Amino acid sequence: MTCTEPMSAAEVNRLSMLALAHVGDAVYELLIRSRLASKGPSQVGELHRKTVAFVRAEAQAKAARRILPLLTEEEAAVYRRGRNCHVHGIPAHANSGEYHSATGLEALFGWLYLQGLTERIEALAAAITKEETLNGSEC
Is the CA virtual torsion 2, 120, 130, 77 positive or negative? Answer: negative
Determine, yes or no, domain membership for 81: yes
Domain-embedded: residue 94: yes
pLDDT by residue (tens digit) across 88-138? 776 666 677 888 999 999 999 999 999 999 999 999 999 998 755 433 445
Percent helix, strand, coil in the chain, to 5, is 70, 5, 30
The answer to the question of residue 3 being in a domain is no
In a domain, 21, yes or no: yes
Determine, yes or no, domain membership for 1: no
Q: Is residue 138 part of a domain?
A: no
Q: How does pLDDT run across 78-88, given as a tens digit for each residue?
A: 999 999 988 77
Range of the domain at 117: 9-131
Catalytic residue, from 20, 21, 24, 25: name it. 25
Assess if residue 93 is contained within a domain: yes
DSSP string, 29-41: HHHHHHHHHTT--
**CATH number assigned to the domain comprising residue 95:** 1.10.1520.10
Distances (CA, A) of 55 to 12, 24, 67: 24, 11, 15
Percent of the chain with pLDDT strictly greater than 90: 60
**Backbone φ and ψ of 138, nearest 5°:** -80, 155
Total tally of structural domains belonging to the chain: 1
Q: Would you call 25 a catalytic residue per the annotation? A: yes
pLDDT band, residue 9 (cuts 50/70/90): very high
Mean pLDDT across 45-53? 88
Q: Is residue 2 part of a domain?
A: no
